[in-house]
């Protein structure tokens, strides 16, 4: 694969000089000492909770002290964790980083155990006692605490909460870590050449059709070697979640989708409206995939073609600087501040885009809590798809940037709202390119991106949701085999893709990392939510005119302190629990596919 020479790599030296910086060790030691200072307070709270004597004023003071220390711990540990994760993303074989990751995991587990009584306390005390707890310094915690109090009936006693937190380090979390390690060391055979997983995945986005299929099949075979391991990972993660939900259902049943919706800060009613509307419109996604196949001269698209660039006489590579400049110009049309931000990310080396030997696949945005600076990770190979992905991640970074002056506790937005700014940024770039490019072939390339997105959002994402839902339901009764995983995935793809594909990706349960994220389940529908929601937001641009950008920034700044339904009602005056909202966004997608169809005739 051709390497784009002008890609940037991270400069994180303002955080730590390197992964071997002794300051990392001293920061971890300080964090451990801070945790130790709260052990006695933790025991006092635990005894009071056991005796049901949690309403005393003395405990309010203790809870305040513990919370303030925990806020300091959060900044420190998140900063170290981000630095370690960033190092391993670039070089998953780095033994120093892996050792430090284990140390951090142990410290975080200890913190969870020590702070478990505080979590229980803040969840179960009366409203009157809770009001005494809040001071101006702690007011930023109010929304997060209000969310936890909604699960009051599912909160266990302090000892059992502490036990679950302690066991999860070498239980639940260890399975997610195993999957990440497998990804980092996976070797794929592509036409006889051994390449790492990230490189093979990148090849499936290339213009060479034969290489795409060879890379896709190489990935398939590589994961089949480890299918028993990944199957064990998925069984363990979902088995753990089901058992924990069962334990938490003593007073009131806790459904696994209730947990996911709570994490996403939406209601089940909103989720149902989203999925049902999309299912009724799945033909839009299928039409997009079939039109892509038509342009390729095929009756059906192969799964290895789903991320392919538009067919053209010559797919010229886009330099990294040109990609940044394009994103800046697109953002400038909405806000000069947003455009300047994209250039700043480039100039400050806050984007790591250069291929490396043991690089992890995918792209993401993260940030350092200590300095409130975002970072973007991507393996950039110069395709139009890479440009759009880069815009997506810079959109995430911009979301974090406009919140940088808020208390950290007011910046923890949900998965659903996390995708809003990123997909919004993608849409701005596509619009700009479509309007400024002159040739039909160039316009087709942008319309192709819209078609690709329609197929992904309306077919692929819901198929992931259905697969995971079926997996969890089946896991209630038994441990699944790799063959059963494949069957569930085939069924999900058939339901949503219909006859638009030549074959289904039966190993997708293994290759898609989101199924193996230990911390949360159903990391799929938030992308669909974000995609359709961002179109709904963008549709307000003409209505609001010059006021739109200020309204958009205000919406982003509220994402960490409001539920999705309340946020949309406040800033847009719309109801996302009804299918009408989602149907309006799906109509916009359908119009995009109409444009695409006109270009390929």
166 lies in some domain: yes
Q: Which of 513, 479, 8, 469 is nearest to 268 (CA)?
A: 469
What integer pLDDT is reported at residue 601 of this predicted model?
Answer: 76
pTM to 2 decimal places:
0.86
Characterize the bridge pairing of strands 351-352 and 373-377: parallel
What integer pLDDT is reported at residue 316 of this predicted model?
Answer: 78
59 lies in some domain: yes
Please count the other Cβ atoms lying within 10 Å of the Cβ belonging to residue 162: 21
135 lies in some domain: yes
What integer pLDDT is reported at residue 2 of this predicted model?
Answer: 63
What integer pLDDT is reported at residue 314 of this predicted model?
Answer: 67
Q: Write down the residue that tokens 């964790």 correspond to.
A: 81
- Total tally of structural domains belonging to the chain: 1
Residue 42: give the domain boundaries: 22-170
Q: Quick one: angle between helices 227-247 and 209-225, nearest 10?
A: 60
What integer pLDDT is reported at residue 312 of this predicted model?
Answer: 77
Query: Would you mind telling me the total number of residues written for the chain in this entry?
Result: 601
577 lies in some domain: no
CATH number of the domain to which 76 belongs: 1.20.140.70
508 lies in some domain: no
Q: Which of 360, 357, 358, 354 is nearest to 386 (CA)?
A: 354
78 lies in some domain: yes
354 lies in some domain: no
CA dihedral 467, 470, 475, 481 (to 10 degrees): -50
Q: What is the mean pLDDT of each run of 10 residues along the chain (601 residues)?
A: 81 98 98 98 94 89 98 98 97 96 93 93 95 97 95 89 87 95 94 93 90 98 98 98 96 94 95 98 98 96 94 81 98 96 98 91 94 97 89 97 98 90 92 89 89 97 98 98 99 99 98 94 93 90 90 96 96 94 96 95 76
Number of Cα atoms under 13 Å in the Cβ half of residue 432: 21
Buried b (16+ CB within 10 A) or exposed e, 339-374: bebbeebbeeebbbbbbbebbbbbbebbbbbbebbb
164 lies in some domain: yes
């Amino acid at each position: 694969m051709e390497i784009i020479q002008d890609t940037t790599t991270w400069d994180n030296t303002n955080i730590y000089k390197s992964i071997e910086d002794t300051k990392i060790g001293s920061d971890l030691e300080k964090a451990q000492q801070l945790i130790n200072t709260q052990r006695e307070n933790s025991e006092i709270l635990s005894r009071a909770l056991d005796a049901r004597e949690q309403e005393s004023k003395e405990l309010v003071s203790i809870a305040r002290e513990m919370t303030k220390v925990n806020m300091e711990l959060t900044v420190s540990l998140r900063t170290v964790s981000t630095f370690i994760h960033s190092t391993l993303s670039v070089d998953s074989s780095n033994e120093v980083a892996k050792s430090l990751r284990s140390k951090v995991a142990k410290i975080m587990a200890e913190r969870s155990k020590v702070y478990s009584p505080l979590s229980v306390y803040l969840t179960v005390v009366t409203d009157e006692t809770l009001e005494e707890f809040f001071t101006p310094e702690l007011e930023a915690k109010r929304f997060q605490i209000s969310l936890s109090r909604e699960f009051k009936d599912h909160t266990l006693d302090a000892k059992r909460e502490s036990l679950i937190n302690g066991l999860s380090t070498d239980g639940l979390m260890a399975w997610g870590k195993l999957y990440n390690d497998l990804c980092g060391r996976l070797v794929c055979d592509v036409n006889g050449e051994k390449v790492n997983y990230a490189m093979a995945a990148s090849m499936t986005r290339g213009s060479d059709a034969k290489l795409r299929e060879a890379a896709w099949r190489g990935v398939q075979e590589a994961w089949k070697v480890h299918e028993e391991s990944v199957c064990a990972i998925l069984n363990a993660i979902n088995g753990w979640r089901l058992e924990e939900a069962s334990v938490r259902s003593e007073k009131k049943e806790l459904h696994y989708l209730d947990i996911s919706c709570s994490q996403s800060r939406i209601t089940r009613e909103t989720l149902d409206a989203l999925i049902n509307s999309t299912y009724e419109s799945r033909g839009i996604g299928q039409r997009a995939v079939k039109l892509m196949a038509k342009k390729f001269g095929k009756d059906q698209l192969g799964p290895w073609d789903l991320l392919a660039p538009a067919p053209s006489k010559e797919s010229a590579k886009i330099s990294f600087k040109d990609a940044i400049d394009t994103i800046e110009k697109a953002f400038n049309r909405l806000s000069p501040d947003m455009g300047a931000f994209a250039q700043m990310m480039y100039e400050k080396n806050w984007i790591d885009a250069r291929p490396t030997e043991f690089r992890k696949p995918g792209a993401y945005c993260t940030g350092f809590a200590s300095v409130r600076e975002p970072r973007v990770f991507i393996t950039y190979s110069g395709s139009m798809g890479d440009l759009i992905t880069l815009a997506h991640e810079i959109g995430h970074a911009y979301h974090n940037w406009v919140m940088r002056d808020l208390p950290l506790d007011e910046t923890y937005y949900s998965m659903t709202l996390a995708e809003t700014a990123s997909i919004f940024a993608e849409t701005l770039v596509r619009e700009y390119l479509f309007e400024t490019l002159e040739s039909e072939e160039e316009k087709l390339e942008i319309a192709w991106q819209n078609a690709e997105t329609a197929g992904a959002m309306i077919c692929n994402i819901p198929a992931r949701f259905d697969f995971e839902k079926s997996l969890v339901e089946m896991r209630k009764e038994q441990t699944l085999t790799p063959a059963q995983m494949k069957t569930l995935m085939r069924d999900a793809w058939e339901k949503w893709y219909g006859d638009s594909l030549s074959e289904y990706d039966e190993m997708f349960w293994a290759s898609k990392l989101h199924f193996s994220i230990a911390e949360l389940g159903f990391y799929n529908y938030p992308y669909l939510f974000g995609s359709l929601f961002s179109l709904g937001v963008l549709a307000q641009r003409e209505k609001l005119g010059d006021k739109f950008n200020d309204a958009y920034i205000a919406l982003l700044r509220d994402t960490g302190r409001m539920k999705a339904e309340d946020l949309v009602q406040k800033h847009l005056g719309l109801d996302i629990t009804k299918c009408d909202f989602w149907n309006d966004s799906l109509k916009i997608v359908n119009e995009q596919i109409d444009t695409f169809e006109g270009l390929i005739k």
